[in-house]
Amino acid sequence: MPRLFCFGLGYTARRLAAALSGEGWRIAGTCRTADACTALSHRGIDAWPFETGRPLDDAGVLGGTTHILVSTPPGAAGDPVLAHHAEDIAALPGLQWIGYLSSTSVYGDTGGRRVGEDAPCAATSERGRRRIAAEAAWQARRRGDRLPLHVFRLAGIYGPGRSALDQVRAGTARRIDKPGHLFSRIHVDDIVAVLRASMARPDPGAVYNVCDDEPAPTADVVAHACALLGIAPPPLVPFAEAELSPMARSFYADNRRLRNDRIRKELGVTLEFPDYRAGLRGILAAERRGT
């Protein structure tokens, strides 16, 4: 029986776990707090606290793992999973696949030009630079220990409970106008499809951009969410006049479009939600069905 261990049972990892558990997979992983671990245990997922500065209390919980998903972000000191458990992972006898969830921030600003996985990594943010370092460290361990590593550079993630629909309902949605600036995004269920396709067709060392087919301004996404909900959209606010937090403003520093050919050609993935319109419609339809 395959066993997936997730370092970081967050939004995407839990969605993958839900898909696999229905097919007989054993699921385990880590959470930030003991309370979160307890909540997951009630859903049939074995979970243990894991903090950036300290290892798992018992590395033996990795025993029997066949697949590992790493979604914990790197810190200033590097990737915490590698820092504390690289040797434990390398010693697993039946390990078939490791998926490392990275970010498209590694590419930095391309002035709106399309970039594929072989493009230079020139991050402009500290977050992106940490991702570059973490990817390099994982790839070095792959080569040294022959680990079955796969890197997934994720665009902006959205899905049920985490989309422009929720922002509109909460009254927090904003339409920032920065002409020519595009964001790439990906529905969480399409991430799950990519990960599962990679598990079925492992190619250690491979790097994949995971994004949909249509980069778009956030203002357009918010306007479409409003139209679906029958709500008047908020006014456009010029970027120069928008009062954004430093974190929010940093996302506008990079303008790039991503190529996703590789997930199609090498993994055979057909996106269920190839653009934000299909994604938002799908979320709303699922809500109305109660699923």
Chain position carrying tokens 């049920």: 160
Asked whether the beta carbons of 151 and 102 are under 8 A apart, the reply is yes
What are 79-123's pLDDT values in tens digits?
Answer: 999 999 999 999 999 999 999 999 999 999 998 889 999 999 999
**H helix intervals, the chain:** 11-21, 34-41, 80-90, 126-145, 164-170, 188-200, 218-229, 246-251, 261-265, 276-289
- 237 Cβ partners below 8 Å, 6+ apart? 174, 175, 176, 177
What CATH code would you report for 3-158+185-214+255-272? 3.40.50.720
Q: Would you state the structure tokens that stand for residue 83, as one six-digit string?
A: 């820092």
Nearest to 162 by CA among 244, 279, 275: 279
pTM above 0.85, yes or no: yes
What are 27-81's pLDDT values in tens digits?
Answer: 999 998 889 988 988 888 899 998 767 788 888 999 999 999 999 999 998 999 9
What are 172-219's pLDDT values in tens digits?
Answer: 999 999 999 999 999 999 999 999 999 999 999 999 999 999 999 999
Angle between helices 126-145 and 80-90 (to 10 degrees): 10
* Per-domain boundaries in the chain: 3-158+185-214+255-272
